[in-house]
Structure 1
Amino acid sequence: MSFNDTSSRKITIADVAALAGVSRAIASRALSPEERPVSAEKKARVLAAAEQLGFKPNLIARSLKSRTLNLVAVVVNHIHDFSDLVLFDRLIAAIQDTGKQVVLLRVGSLDRVEEFLRNGVAWHVDAALVFSDFADAATVRTMFRNDRVVMLNGMRDANAPSIVADEATPIAAAVAHARARGKTRAVLVTGRQTSPVEQARIAAYRAALAAQGLALLAEHVGDYSYESGRSLSAAVLREGPEAAIFATADAMAMGVIDAGRADIARKPGDWAFYGFDALPLARSEAYPISSIGYDLEAYIARVIEHLRQPELFERPAGVITIPGSFMPHPSCGGPAAFERWPAEG
């Protein structure tokens, strides 16, 4: 057969294998997005043949044999604040670098989880990454009929690895920083208090404030969003610049600042704002927010490690902790304090 004769019909992997001078099995392994055993020389021949013939792998047909579409489910409550955008942009890019694609499932409530279960959600996914605190590991295993579940919501499960950031240490450092600035009172702005992650943050703040002798004057509940910070601004700023303001999300602190700029402008150097998430915007002069963050690249690397090495799910590693850091704003800590901030973009 002349390979020029393929122009009138659909190109198959058999055509690629014949042109490359290899078996169909070797051609299939060479074209797989996963790491499969094949020599570099044969893989190069197969890729060159596929490009010459214009061959496009049929992912659906492949899935019927492998029972997967090289998909990873990412289960979230929502994506509505700046920290979500930074995290998920980098996480999705890292997942795609493994040759897989993402199914993004927005849960948002317990009712939605029950709806997914009733409808029999059963994508053939390689793994599920759970950010939503409305879904426990057992539920997600049922939803996807898959035991490869990574818990990223603060929940613990004996059969699933959990990846968390150390937040207590940088929270203690942030409160100590406020005390060193002469603050003896504090206001706390929190997110949804039913979240296990948020519960741990609130407990860490209360313990740190007590240890440093700062009186907690009030707690205001938002939802991590900029809009909730704006709506709470008047109540948060009511105590005046004598109280340090701690928010469990940079976006909420930004909303507080923007809605209260008239009050803040009267004594701009006296206010002390502390946030969470280490957003690039919090470095700016417009938002004098000292923040708490963690090594996002290390966090994502541990997630990707489980996608590349499925055998890790056979013996879950328990809780994997990523170190956190407190980073003062340049206006009070100097530019060097930001050397560990995540790169912008």
Structure 2
Amino acid sequence: MKRITITDVAKLACVSKSTVSQYLNKRYDYMGETTKLRIENAISQLGYQPNIVARSLKQKRSSTIGVIVANILHSFSTKVIRAIEDTCNENDFHVIVCNADDDPVKEEKYIQMLLAKQIDGMAIFPTGGNLALYDSMVKMNYPVVFLDRMIEGVNIDAFLLDNENASNLAVKHLVDRGHTRIGVVTPSIERMVTPRVERLEGFKKALKVHGLPVTNEYIKSMGVDKLQSGLKEMFSLCEKPTALVASNDLTLFEVLKFVKENGLNIPEEIEVVGFDDIPFATVLEPSLSFLSQPAFEMGNKAAERLLEKIEKRDVLFESEIHRFQPTLFQGQLPKN
């Protein structure tokens, strides 16, 4: 079959090729409604499909961004991706999503692949293991933003939660409920991942503010696959904790698994505060308290900033740290 071209559309619509091009690029400022309608009908009648590759080469833009997620299993990450996709869709941009599994080697491969595909920009949940690569993108003024994490000394905008305040809200809630022996479980902080480090530091600071001791035996920071043994050690103590803060959704799963397997009652024997609004929170009896991140707002703002950088590629932007405030929900899910 003969490939339908812009020339065919122009001929059928009785307009010039440049007018059809303006229509395809949504430049309607000096175009009458009847002209637009003729072009629209011609495109429909002929079944014309624009050559995206050719248009990208001509415009020197792919209208595509990449999102590299540290771990796509997190419910927070999924919501942020959805918000980014919504914002990009409104601006006629496509999104390629890559999952790095918190592996710097895998992250580097994805960054190099996306650069090779000449996509217009990236939103990255950084592993922190590719400092030279991050710096090289900054030096070439390549549009990029960080999400959920920031890297010290790297001049890239970061969009993340006020993690210390989130931990403070969790501890205050438990203290107000009468707890004095409060524990925390978090994934390993060996790689100094921002939310893990900040939430743990915020937890310790909050204990001190409320006049409570920082008990190392009540703190378990390790690989998620090892948390069951860590919780077993914690609950083998003579003075067990009466409340726990689970610093993300994956650690919350492990806590609830431990609670079920050991026949513990919530909140009579152990009260739990989780991070991120997990859908099943409301079907538990009693339902859990948790700290909600404004994931959709964070994703929208990060996408808007990235698109601004793409649009103003020649402008040198000063990096900013954008902090968002958490909300404590006591046994209920927020309404989106």
TM-score range for the pair, normalised by the shorter chain length: 0.7 to 0.9
1:65–1:75 Cα change, 3 Å: same
Asked if 2 retains the 8 angstrom alpha-carbon contact of 1:247 and 1:274, the reply is: yes
Which residue of 323, 326, 330 corresponds with 2:325?
Answer: 323
Q: TM-score, normalised to structure 1's length?
A: 0.79
Which residue of 26, 49, 52 corresponds with 1:56?
Answer: 49
Structure 2 residue 104 is the aligned partner of structure 1 residue 110: yes
Aligned to 1:91: 84
1:120–1:168 Cα change, 3 Å: closer
Q: TM-score, normalised to structure 2's length?
A: 0.81
Look up the SS of the partner of 2:88 in the other structure: helix
Look up the SS of the partner of 2:289 in the other structure: strand
Aligned to 1:171: 167
**For 2:8 and 2:131, how far apart are their aligned partners in 1?**
44
**For 1:255 and 1:159, how far apart are their aligned partners in 2?**
36
**For 2:28 and 2:307, how far apart are their aligned partners in 1?**
15
Aligned to 2:312: 311
Asked if 2 retains the 8 angstrom alpha-carbon contact of 1:291 and 1:329, the reply is: yes
Pairwise CA distance, 1:306: 2.2
Aligned to 2:207: 209
The one-letter code sitting in structure 2 at the alignment partner of 1:273 is V
Q: 5+ unaligned residues in a row in structure 2: which ranges?
A: none
Structure 1 vs Structure 2: percent identity of aligned residues?
22
**For 1:173 and 1:120, how far apart are their aligned partners in 2?**
39
Aligned to 1:3: none
Pairwise CA distance, 1:159: 4.1
Q: 5+ unaligned residues in a row in structure 1: which ranges?
A: 1-7, 331-337
**For 2:209 and 2:84, how far apart are their aligned partners in 1?**
36
Pairwise CA distance, 1:155: 2.4
The one-letter code sitting in structure 2 at the alignment partner of 1:169 is N
Map 1:132-151 → 2, pairs under 5 A = 132-134=126-128, 139-140=133-134, 142=136, 147-151=142-146
Pairwise CA distance, 1:248: 0.9
The one-letter code sitting in structure 2 at the alignment partner of 1:220 is K
**For 2:136 and 2:318, how far apart are their aligned partners in 1?**
18
**For 2:266 and 2:152, how far apart are their aligned partners in 1?**
45
1:183–1:274 Cα change, 3 Å: same
Structure 2 residue 22 is the aligned partner of structure 1 residue 29: yes
Q: Deviations over 1:283-335 (max 9, x none)?
A: 332574321122223212212312443338633351222222122225xxxxx
Aligned to 1:273: 272
**For 1:16 and 1:236, how far apart are their aligned partners in 2?**
72
**For 2:128 and 2:67, how far apart are their aligned partners in 1?**
13
Pairwise CA distance, 1:55: 0.8
**For 1:287 and 1:79, how far apart are their aligned partners in 2?**
28
1:46–1:319 Cα change, 3 Å: farther
Asked if 1 retains the 8 angstrom alpha-carbon contact of 2:74 and 2:249, the reply is: no
1:157–1:14 Cα change, 3 Å: farther
Aligned to 1:220: 220
1:126–1:241 Cα change, 3 Å: same
Asked if 1 retains the 8 angstrom alpha-carbon contact of 2:159 and 2:322, the reply is: yes
**For 1:25 and 1:135, how far apart are their aligned partners in 2?**
48
**For 1:26 and 1:92, how far apart are their aligned partners in 2?**
30
Asked if 2 retains the 8 angstrom alpha-carbon contact of 1:185 and 1:244, the reply is: yes
**For 2:113 and 2:277, how far apart are their aligned partners in 1?**
39
**For 2:242 and 2:161, how far apart are their aligned partners in 1?**
27
Aligned to 1:334: none
Bigger relative CO (Cα 8 Å, ≥ 6 apart) = 2
Aligned to 1:248: 247
1:216–1:158 Cα change, 3 Å: closer
The one-letter code sitting in structure 2 at the alignment partner of 1:319 is I
Aligned to 1:333: none
Aligned to 1:181: 177
1:162–1:242 Cα change, 3 Å: closer
Q: Deviations over 1:152-198 (max 9, x none)?
A: 12225664322222233332122111001111112111123121232
Asked if 1 retains the 8 angstrom alpha-carbon contact of 2:80 and 2:295, the reply is: yes
1:48–1:111 Cα change, 3 Å: same
**For 1:63 and 1:299, how far apart are their aligned partners in 2?**
29
Aligned to 1:10: 3
